[in-house]
Amino acid sequence: MTIDNNIERAYRDAIAAAKNGDYMNAIVGLTKVLDGIRFRCNQESGQSQESHSITLEKVLYKRAGAWMERKEYEIALLDINEALRESPRKSDYYSARARIRRELFQYGLAISDLCIAIEYDPNISDYYFQRSVVYLLDSNPQAALQDIEKAIELASPDDDVMQYYYVQRAKIFFKLKKYENALDDCERVQSSDNPYADVFSVAGETYVELKEFAKAQEMISKLDEMEPESRRYHFFRAKYYFEQNDWKRAKLFCDSYIEFDRRSWEAIQLRGECHFWLSDLNNAEIDCKRAYSIKQNPKSCETLANIYSKRKDIMSSDDWNKKKSQFKE
């Protein structure tokens, strides 16, 4: 059997493992493929590798994806960087690196990568969608709105991705406090044959902000039907109970969501506020400082100022109020 045949067989097996969710075996298989390609390169020293269907950068790109699925983002970044060194004009590689950098909270670098991807392929709606997601995470909802509008403009109206785009726009409208607009986009998705579950979470959070708790409860019921075992939407539930002053139950849902996403500063902050209202000032301080260390934000400053005020530590309370004042309203 030739080297190429061995490479192709190992590559097919690795991709099949990835499709079955067996990402560790996919990584092992792709690593063997890389070893085979490097051996082939040595054997064919000086010859172009472009004639081969399975190239070094292609396998590195696939292995980066597998590392991402295992949440090994630093290792994934090494692979995608090497893939880009091999092939520096692949827009989808820049998009992949942007997703990795987003998970590493490197929002500025992620945006830069997506700008390059858009420069190379300006008509791919997903790149604008991805950049919109990063802008929103980076507290720039106006830029996020411009990008999601562009993504909607480029996508075909009957494309399945449209419901993801409308949900993203609803999230942006929510951040901009344009609640009616957010609900309009949610309604577009809810009326589809197979609605994306996130829409019920976004609609529910919007109803919580509008104090329409009966409608928010309807959204919880929808999520129970669609994803009864999922913790992805427990942060929404935590907010629902928090707004009704049920801090014990809100804290339990924060606990559950933080197990799902240990880097969610918003969930950690909300749990800190639950501790505060439950008069557990020590844990409130721990959570709010942890949230602030992940993402500097005015809510953590406000809660910490209140904690120190309750302790009669006026100097520390004033310090956190000063930090809060540095944030724009």
Instruction: Find the mean pLDDT for residues 236-251.
Output: 97
Q: How confident is the model at residue 3 (pLDDT cuts 50, 70, 90)?
A: confident
**Model confidence pLDDT, tens digit, residues 120-163:** 999 999 999 999 999 999 989 999 999 999 999 999 988 889 99
105 to 55, 74, 272, 279: CA distances (angstroms): 30, 12, 22, 32
Are 120 and 91 in contact, with CB atoms under 8 Å apart?
yes
Q: What is the pLDDT of residue 49?
A: 54
Q: How confident is the model at residue 293 (pLDDT cuts 50, 70, 90)?
A: very high
**Model confidence pLDDT, tens digit, residues 20-38:** 999 999 999 999 999 999 8
Residue 72 CA to residue 4 CA, distance in Å, equals 29
The CATH code of the domain at 1-88 is 1.25.40.10
Instruction: Find the mean pLDDT for residues 88-101.
Output: 97
Handedness of CA 217, 221, 222, 224 (dihedral sign): positive
Q: Which amino acid is at 195?
A: P
Instruction: Find the mean pLDDT for residues 61-80.
Output: 97
Right CATH for 260-329 from 1.25.40, 3.90.380, 1.20.950, 1.10.10: 1.25.40
Are 239 and 270 in contact, with CB atoms under 8 Å apart?
yes
Are 203 and 217 in contact, with CB atoms under 8 Å apart?
no
pLDDT at 47 over 70: no
**Model confidence pLDDT, tens digit, residues 77-87:** 999 999 999 99
Q: Where are the domain boundaries for CATH 1.25.40.10 in the chain?
A: 1-88
CA angle 259, 136, 60 (to 5 degrees): 70
**Model confidence pLDDT, tens digit, residues 166-196:** 999 999 999 999 999 999 999 999 998 889 8
What mean pLDDT value characterizes the chain?
94
pLDDT at 213 over 80: yes
275 to 162, 280, 294: CA distances (angstroms): 40, 5, 19
pLDDT at 1 over 60: no
Predicted TM-score (pTM) above 0.75: yes
Residue 109 CA to residue 96 CA, distance in Å, equals 12
Q: What secondary structure does DSSP assign to 80-115, as a single string?
A: HHHHHHH-TT-HHHHHHHHHHHHHTT-HHHHHHHHH
Range of weakest confidence among 3-7, 151-155, 226-230, 244-248: 3-7
Q: What is the pLDDT of residue 46?
A: 57
Instruction: Find the mean pLDDT for residues 60-77.
Output: 97
Tokens of 112: 């830069």
Q: What is the pLDDT of residue 171?
A: 97
Neighbours of 146 (CB within 10 A): 16
Q: What is the pLDDT of residue 44?
A: 75
> Is residue 152 helix, strand or coil?
helix
Q: What percent of the chain has pLDDT over 90?
A: 85
Are 128 and 147 in contact, with CB atoms under 8 Å apart?
yes
Residue 115 CA to residue 150 CA, distance in Å, equals 14
Q: How confident is the model at residue 267 (pLDDT cuts 50, 70, 90)?
A: very high
Neighbours of 80 (CB within 10 A): 27
Residue with tokens 């409860």: 217
Residue 222 CA to residue 204 CA, distance in Å, equals 10
Residue with tokens 């590493």: 104
